[in-house]
Chain A
């Protein structure tokens, strides 16, 4: 059974700061890595799905990298805005089909 860990658990930054979070996962049986953004009172929203070692994906000010050999992924937010405040979840799919979520990093961006 996979154990997906995210750090930090929570983060408070000022508007304009750049920040990053870490997701670590067992590299054995790895199949895919997902990042989701979950705002309060809304549904989780997909940011990225990555499968290949060295993958880098970008959506606006948000980008992510993947290292499947060492079992980690980074999510970066450049120039944080108050609307970026949310919980950021990562999830790893193992080759046998189970999908394991981390407990998330809660980001608060102060104006």
Chain B
């Protein structure tokens, strides 16, 4: 069974640009969630999508957005990039009800903002 796939694995952008990251969940998983990992803040929850709807949300500004497609694949977009957006972005998929199901993580997309 294929795991969670994230693309691209590495990317470099400049301040003010926007970026789109992609996540393909494990087959049959309908919940996809996104996380930001930075050295100072640790792992932080961005949002969770289920059946193409944002179901849960963390505490990030509106520059961070996402969507989910009918095949459960998800994209995350960050607009007007800031230096502080440099981070490892992880996505995870899950079978179960949000919060009680195990999360299966991808390997992440490492974003560097110059």
Contact = CB atoms under 8 A, between A and B. Distances in A.
A86 interface: no
Nearest to A48: B102
Nearest to B91: A43
A31 B105 CA distance: 21
A45 B104 CA distance: 7
Contacts of A91: 43
A99 B100 contact: no
A43 B99 contact: no
Interface string B85-101: 00000101000001111
B16 interface: no
A26 to B, nearest CB: 15
Of the four ranges (under 10, 10 to 19, 20 to 34, 35 or more), the interface on chain B belongs to: 20 to 34
B101 A101 contact: no
Given A44-B90, A97-B98, A102 B42 contact: yes
Interface in A23-62: 31-32, 34, 36, 42-46, 49, 51
B56 interface: yes
Contact of B56 (A43, A49, A98, A104): A98
Interface residues on A, range: 20 to 34
Contacts of A89: 43
A100 interface: yes
B42 A93 contact: no
A101 B45 contact: yes
Contacts of A36: 103
Interface in A67-89: 89
7 contacts: A46-B102, A93-B98, A93-B99, A97-B99, A98-B56, A98-B57, A102-B42
B43 A101 contact: yes
Contact of B90 (A43, A46, A97): A43
Nearest to A99: B45
B55 interface: yes
Contacts of A42: 107
Contacts of A46: 102-104
Contacts of A45: 105
A104 to B, nearest CB: 7
